[in-house]
Structure 1
Amino acid sequence: MDIIFNALFGVVVPFLFVIMVVVFFHELGHFWVARRCGVRVETFSIGFGHTLYSWMDSKGTSWKICLWPLGGYVKFYGDEDAASSPDNEKLKELTEDDQKDVFHFKPLWQRSAVVAAGPIANFVLAILIYACLFTFVGKQISLPIVDTIRENSAAERAGFIPGDLILSIDGSPVESFNDVARTVSVNPDRDLVFVVERSGMEVELVARPELVEDVDNFGNRYRLGRLGITSRPDQTRVSKVYYDPITAIGKGVSETTFIITQTFRSLGGIISGRESADALGGPVKIAQISGQMASLGWVAVFNWIALISVSIGLINLFPIPMLDGGHLLFYSYEAVIGKPMPEKVQEYGMRAGLAFVIMLFVFVTWNDVSKISLFN
């Protein structure tokens, strides 16, 4: 009984909260822009499958919460399915007045805006979360001063010495020692250019963090970069900074950009073979970490939501049919050629995209269940 209770409130509930927030904002992006473009929206669904709860708004949109919450969709008038494939037979029967409300008859720029609005909404959600945290919770700043250097480490080989104040990494300013740790951890086996202040002078050092395996407090194993330096947590060096809303939004944009950049870098490493595909995670891993973040408090949960939101937005922009990026790929063809891509090509593309998404889902789920226990 305790196992069931812990699974429900320690894993399932946090996971559903995280996923539903991220999915809701993604679909809300599509919905909001579609309404602004005069598109009739038939369905706004969180999840797939059997409808658990639904209601109709004043403009005829059915809002639904469904059994399987791993996604969602907005279905427009004239769509054949949740992937916004056109119902060609129905479209041929529409009058000219009816066509004004149909997504597929809208100008190319409006269709592109509606499709892109979902991923953009995910990025906006992350920026707003970070901005609110920086404004109301604040950010702990620990001066990036080097105190100790591990023997035979990357830092020792690069020429770091105790007392160095790290100013920037690869041209990006460093505000806190946490910034150093985060940048180093996601850049193993890659040369990083550090600018440090030493005896009143700026010195440039090049270090290549070593790839190591680490274990966090929850027993999760991670492969990350290690420089081999530590900083003393002295109270004279640690402070909490609160940012005004405008500055906080700028910080939120920087955090979101950092996640996007590091995601592309990691994917590049996987494609080139420098990093293992085992690092890819799916719904089981998201569920596990959601439960772990919930045990740390609401700040950790919202940080996790921001990270997942950026990831979902980015994945949806990949040029894979079935995803938003696939639709934008078709629209790019239409913009260049001057007419839509042939229906058969789109149909086969959608099938191939669906097969790829299913295979990826199976792969990352297998990755998850082969490495972790949901209830540890």
Structure 2
Amino acid sequence: MENVLDNVLMFVLGLIGLSFLVTIHELGHFLVAKWNNVKVNTFSVGFGKKLLKYKIGETEYCISAIPFGGYVAMAGENPDKIQEGEALNERDFMAKSVGARAAIAFAGPFINIVFAFVLLMILYMVGVQEPANKELIIGFVGKNSPAEVSGIIPGDTITAINGKPTQGWDDFREQIGVSLGANVELEVHREGSVQTIVVVPEELVIPAQDSTDSETKMGIGDIGIYPQNRVIVRLPPVAGSAAEKAGILQNDTVLEINGKHIGRYEDVVRQIDGSKGEEVRVTVTRNGDTLTLPMTPVYNEEYKRYMVGVQMGYVLFRETKFVRRGPIEALEKTCATSWKMTTSIFRYFGRLFKGQVKMDAFSGPVSIVAVMGNVWMSGFQEFLMLLALISINLGVMNLLPLAITDGGLLMFLGIEKLRGKPLSTKTQTIIQNVAAAFFISFFVFITILDFGKLSLFLK
């Protein structure tokens, strides 16, 4: 029951975060439309059936059933509903100048990008946790992983990737993630010596948790290395429990269960519960020694899952420090981060065409909601950083000239400005219908992938 409530809370928090970004996006369109005296019929957070609605003046404000988006419905904005030569009302969207319509279209993505910039600026001035050491000290190397095959061992320190200094684990994972099947050159320090090791990332695959589940392909690269010890036994095992009988002690660090790496508390829960009562082999480190201890999980009626009687915690080996910046430094850091976030989508698409990232790596609204909720429950600062990342990507994606996006409308307006007249209603309708068919198909495909990943976020 506790896990169900946690999962529900995760999705509720995620929906709140995504709905907020959608709301400010649509608010940008709404405010600039009103500024240009365009009649706005509807302001909706979500699509589909209207669940809650309230009319103020000429505009109906509502919350709709499908929460993954929103819209501002303006009078006279759909070319397929306007007959050639038909007179327009002066408050219709299509009756406004090219500049006014472009401003309305641009306002939504713009406010997302500005919001992210301001949020990052505030975060950097208030202070954030950042890597205290940008070098990567390896605590664990997966068996038969690309790292092990290349000769990397626990205790090695990675100081550069492809000739550039490392910037912490998150940045390293991103670079490895977009290098699937490519040669990656690492500068490795070991016992006073420096050597160059070339690794070839393989696709990251999350193993099945039990016989009824299937493995999840993530579509990104991985080499099988992890930071120093992260998950520990926080308290002494429950008296008489499977863990106590097996010899587990307080402060043991859990490395593996049945050969699968343990990076967080949820991994322990999944592996133990997924055993369905069959014996598991738990690999721990204790005072420098590595032990593999067999134990048999027991079903707990209260929690409705298999357990071994231990309570886990995290070891603070992330080696972070609290950094607060002045306005100038915060502005510089914000510009650098914003640029990296803004260009990330183009890097991913570029690597996709090279085969160094697979389609499985892309996330749709279901995964985005799950990730946002999960991160929010883990830490509010991390959630705000993720909120900024998604807000910028939402803005950038909507500026791409993809026919049914804000960028597509800007493209049509640019053509109209150059030609001195808009494309015919028929031409615009055909283009938008083809684009809509493509994006609906893409949305369905990504959503199917999302549901395949959903088990990764459930507790």
Class of the TM-score when normalised by the shorter of the 2 chains: 0.7 to 0.9
1:279 positional shift: 1.6
Secondary structure of residue in 1 paired with 2:66? strand
**Letter of the aligned partner of 2:108 in structure 1?**
G
Q: Identify the residue that residue 92 of structure 1 maps to in structure 2.
A: 86
Q: Residue type matched to 1:70 in 2?
A: F
1:73 matched to which residue of 2? 71
1:53 matched to 2:53: yes
Counterpart of 1:286 in structure 2 is: 368
Which digits, 9 at most, give the CA deviation of each residue in 1:157-199, with x for residues without a partner?
A: 8xxxx9999589777x866565445444444455779999xxx
Structure 1 partner of 2:101: 111
Tell me if structure 2 keeps the 8 A contact 1:127–1:249.
Answer: no
Amino acid at match of 2:131: I
Structure (1 or 2) with the greater helix fraction = 1
Specify whether residues 156 and 211 from structure 1 end up closer, same or farther in structure 2 by C-alpha distance, changes over 3 A only. Answer: closer
- Say whether the 8 Å CA contact 2:7–2:458 is kept in structure 1: yes
Give, in whole Å, the separation in 2 of the partners of 1:5 and 1:363: 29
* Structure 1 residues 146 and 297: alpha-carbon distance in aligned structure 2, compared to 1, 3 A threshold: closer
Query: Are 1:63 and 2:57 counterparts?
Result: no
TM-score by length of 2: 0.64
Contact 1:155 1:207 in 2 (8 A): no
**What corresponds to 2:287 in structure 1?**
none
CA distance in 2, matches of 1:115, 1:23: 14
Per-residue deviation, 1:210:
2.8
Say whether residues 1:121 and 2:121 are aligned partners. Answer: no
Unaligned 5+ runs, structure 2: 189-193, 210-214, 230-315
Contact 2:120 2:385 survives alignment (8 Å): yes
Work out the CA distance in 1 between the residues paired with 2:370 and 2:227.
Answer: 31
- SS at structure 1 position matched to 2:423: coil
Partners of 1:241 and 1:306 in 2: how far apart?
18
Which of 115, 126, 137 matches 2:127? 137
Tell me which residue corresponds to 1:199: none
Alpha-carbon distance, 1:119 to partner: 1.6
More strand by share: 2
Amino acid in the other structure paired with 1:375:
L
| Aligned Cα root-mean-square deviation (Å) | 4.1
Farther-moved stretch of structure 1 (141-150 vs 15-24): 141-150
Cα pair distance change 1:35/1:220, threshold 3 Å: farther
Q: What is the aligned partner in structure 1 of residue 438 from structure 2?
A: 356
SS at match of 1:53: strand
Q: Percent identity?
A: 27
1:42–1:77: 8 Å Cα contact kept in structure 2? yes
Q: Does 1:254 align with 2:336?
A: yes
- Quote the residue 2:391 is aligned against: 309
Alignment coverage as a number of residue pairs:
357
- CA 1:166–1:6: 2 relative to 1, 3 Å: closer
Q: Distance in 1 between matches of 2:145 and 2:162?
A: 21
Q: Taking structure 1 as reference, are residues 117 and 177 closer, same or farther at Cα in structure 2, changes over 3 Å only?
A: same
Greater C-alpha radius of gyration: 2
1:16 corresponds to 2:6: no
The residue type equivalent to 1:125 in the other structure is F
Distance 1:40 1:133 in 2: 37
Partner of 2:35: 36
Amino acid in structure 2 at the alignment position of 1:264 = F
Contact 1:34 1:114 in 2 (8 A): yes
Q: Is the 8 A contact 1:79 1:86 kept in 2?
A: no
Cα deviation, 1:7-58, whole Å, max 9, x if unaligned, reads 43232x112202211101111221233233333333221112224132416x
CA contact (8 A) 1:259 1:310 kept: yes
Residue 310 (structure 1) shift: 2.5
User: Cα distance, 1:72 vs. partner?
Assistant: 0.8
Q: Confirm or deny: 8 A CA contact 1:47 1:68 kept in the other structure.
A: yes
Match of 2:201 in 1: 210
Cα distance in 2 between the residues matched to 1:329 and 1:170: 40
Report if the CA contact (8 A) 1:193-1:206 is conserved. yes
Aligned to 2:409: 327
Amino acid corresponding to residue 50 of structure 1 in structure 2: K
Read off the aligned partner of 1:240 and give its amino acid letter. F
